[in-house]
Structure 1
């Protein structure tokens, strides 16, 4: 298990660093307005992906060990195409992204959707390492091609970013398909009809959570674009990107945790892993947020450019919510891994409701600062509710929640195991 953790952590850390370098490159060479457009593009892609993953995503991880692969792929690929087609017309109707960029956004998202389906099957079959390779290759290639456009070809525009993103996603798709075809065939009595119904059943329940969550996470981008300037979207999106990098460890742990839980029938062991990973995530998040919050505004203007001085204040405001939500990431994967997607959906709906209410009340008064506050409040409330539900539905006691000397010794032993890998 810990070999998978270190591979996943290395992958997530690499992806986080690479995405940060992409954000820095766009900020420095194209400015805050272009960074705002890039943020809106990524947010739009995230919205399309969560619709595509209604028949895909985490439900594939849960069902792939239990079904023939062809029964999983056919409905998943078809739905990805349908979702992307609907998204094309939806984006044409909106005014957040210029019309000439919409075909690129939709095509890139479709490619990413199919890659995500392939990677989810790899994770479900406990090929986490190969899934990590696919996930890392894409942003790495994107960064290299983007720098080629900026430094060598001197093409400093948003189109260069879209070309880099498109090519890198195509390579990731090819690699994920190659790994997919190397998987052994699984003997199963499942039928296409049963797999199709299960994909919708688990997918809708699971994706309700992700739909509410992504809407909550990125609603501030579109809110700022509507009531303020795209440059403010750029500043806010950079602050979010930096502070959300704290979740790298939580997301790495959750991938391994989820893969183990869906392949296990031992509920007590699943709870133990979840509690242990939650403690690791909370400690690491406190340390990481403290470091970022202590950085002066001059540090962020040096890295991103003179237009991004407000990032320092935004990061300070977002930090408490980031710490709380790092624990929610672990707990939510426990609920998903045990088939309780409905709990995640209700929790995320609460988070979205709080985000909307606080945006209406805080942003008219405090502007961009109010948007950051609304996100922080939503993160904290979401995490508290999830923690309470996990506690009351588990066999844990209050003393189990404390970080004890035994936990520290166990974490130290696990860390030594990781180093050996």
Structure 2
């Protein structure tokens, strides 16, 4: 595994983490817990739509980028992005105000089109370009918010979505120029065979990802139903911390996945997976420790008085956060070798637990109950993935402990 690529990917994801939390802090102070709840629900809807779009624009785009020409797979991705981006938000419009449904349609189409270009970079092992665009999505979004709120003077929560639309649109145009200038338009085609392969791989990977997303986000909808939109806004901060901490494992997983799909040595792939496990376990544990040492009053001061429960939420979520951070690595290993069934099984196990327990626990315990449910669900699904991985390889405790040589190497990268 290319160590420079891993480190640069981690740095880019860490920068995204900082920018994202800056945006979270701003949105909670600007629009309060209700506004943050609206943003959380709309973004949750957008994420659900992205799972359908990603059948063609997600992992399948990365997986087949090294096997087919870009002009043979991009037409499927672009057409699918438009169809899904319009159809599914129309279905969702029955549950949300019309103004947010309109935003959702535009966001869905543009984010899917952009994802097709960016995931093509991953399949071509152009991780540098992938990192650049993921960072720019945060930076440009923030720039547009500043322009819209303080120059155009749109101060409602609508400004968040208008800025995001502008960001996705600009980045799609730029990335399209980079991608399409290398394409031979004479070779553009809609091959039934290629389309079938894209769909077959895509729906299997996205089914797993979608089920895992429901594990992560279903509590939002139960909380909204039983406790109201304000509780969603409060709980979403703890979830945002979870996803921020997962930055490390996702960075490692991305590089690992790009490496595995271009590598036929199974023993080497397993060894690289174990190295990623060790790094993810160590750094995630460190981040969790730091967050739990921060006083509760500090969170309330940063996010506002409505968010005084943030430290408690992180505490309840921490076992599950650590479990997912490490199991993410194994999940991408199985995706890279096209063994997708176990990913679906582990996600279904977690989802079944989440659905059944939410009806009983959230009405009684509210936000605390949502935290406990999420954490237990994460641990259950991760345990199943660990069990399957260690069926094909021997378990060693040092799989989760960095050697002195690896620590020295990591430190040298950081200080450099």
Q: Deviations over 1:165-201 (max 9, x none)?
A: 111111221222133235588xx9x982221111111
One of 402, 405, 408 as aligned partner of 1:409: 405
1:363-374 matched pairs, under 5 angstroms: 363-374=362-373
**Distance in 1 between residues matched to 2:240 and 2:50, nearest whole Å:** 19
The Cα shift of 1:244 comes to 2.2
The Cα shift of 1:351 comes to 1.5
SS in structure 1 at match of 2:66: helix
Hey, what does 2:128 align to over in structure 1?
A: 129
The Cα shift of 1:49 comes to 0.2
Shifted more, 159-168 versus 286-295: the winner is 286-295
SS in structure 2 at match of 1:93: coil
Hey, what does 1:37 align to over in structure 2?
A: 38
Do the aligned partners of residues 259 and 26 (structure 1) sit closer, same or farther apart at CA in structure 2, a change above 3 Å counting?
same
SS in structure 1 at match of 2:319: helix
**Distance in 1 between residues matched to 2:81 and 2:264, nearest whole Å:** 31
Hey, what does 1:332 align to over in structure 2?
A: 331
Do the aligned partners of residues 183 and 324 (structure 1) sit closer, same or farther apart at CA in structure 2, a change above 3 Å counting?
farther
Gaps of 5+ in 1: none
Shifted more, 256-265 versus 56-65: the winner is 56-65
**Distance in 2 between residues matched to 1:263 and 1:418, nearest whole Å:** 27
Q: Check the 8 A contact 2:226/2:363 in 1, yes or no.
A: no
Q: Check the 8 A contact 2:12/2:132 in 1, yes or no.
A: yes
Q: Check the 8 A contact 2:227/2:363 in 1, yes or no.
A: no
Hey, what does 1:76 align to over in structure 2?
A: 77
Q: Deviations over 1:39-74 (max 9, x none)?
A: 001101000000111122112111110012122111
Hey, what does 2:65 align to over in structure 1?
A: 64
**Distance in 2 between residues matched to 1:402 and 1:317, nearest whole Å:** 22
**Distance in 1 between residues matched to 2:31 and 2:234, nearest whole Å:** 13
Tell me the TM-score normalised to structure 2 length: 0.94
**Distance in 2 between residues matched to 1:403 and 1:27, nearest whole Å:** 38
Hey, what does 2:175 align to over in structure 1?
A: 176
Hey, what does 2:257 align to over in structure 1?
A: 258
Hey, what does 1:158 align to over in structure 2?
A: 157
Do the aligned partners of residues 153 and 80 (structure 1) sit closer, same or farther apart at CA in structure 2, a change above 3 Å counting?
closer
Q: Check the 8 A contact 2:256/2:272 in 1, yes or no.
A: yes
1:377-416 matched pairs, under 5 angstroms: 377-394=376-393, 396-398=394-396, 401=399, 403=401, 407-416=403-412
Q: Check the 8 A contact 2:7/2:413 in 1, yes or no.
A: no
Q: Check the 8 A contact 1:2/1:418 in 2, yes or no.
A: no
Do the aligned partners of residues 164 and 402 (structure 1) sit closer, same or farther apart at CA in structure 2, a change above 3 Å counting?
closer
Tell me the TM-score normalised to structure 1 length: 0.93
The Cα shift of 1:296 comes to 2.2
Do the aligned partners of residues 172 and 402 (structure 1) sit closer, same or farther apart at CA in structure 2, a change above 3 Å counting?
closer
**2:24 aligned with 1:23:** yes
Hey, what does 1:145 align to over in structure 2?
A: 144
**Distance in 2 between residues matched to 1:295 and 1:357, nearest whole Å:** 34
The Cα shift of 1:248 comes to 0.9
Q: Deviations over 1:214-270 (max 9, x none)?
A: 111111111111111211111111111023211111111111110000000010111
**Distance in 1 between residues matched to 2:19 and 2:289, nearest whole Å:** 22
Q: Deviations over 1:66-88 (max 9, x none)?
A: 01212211122222222122212
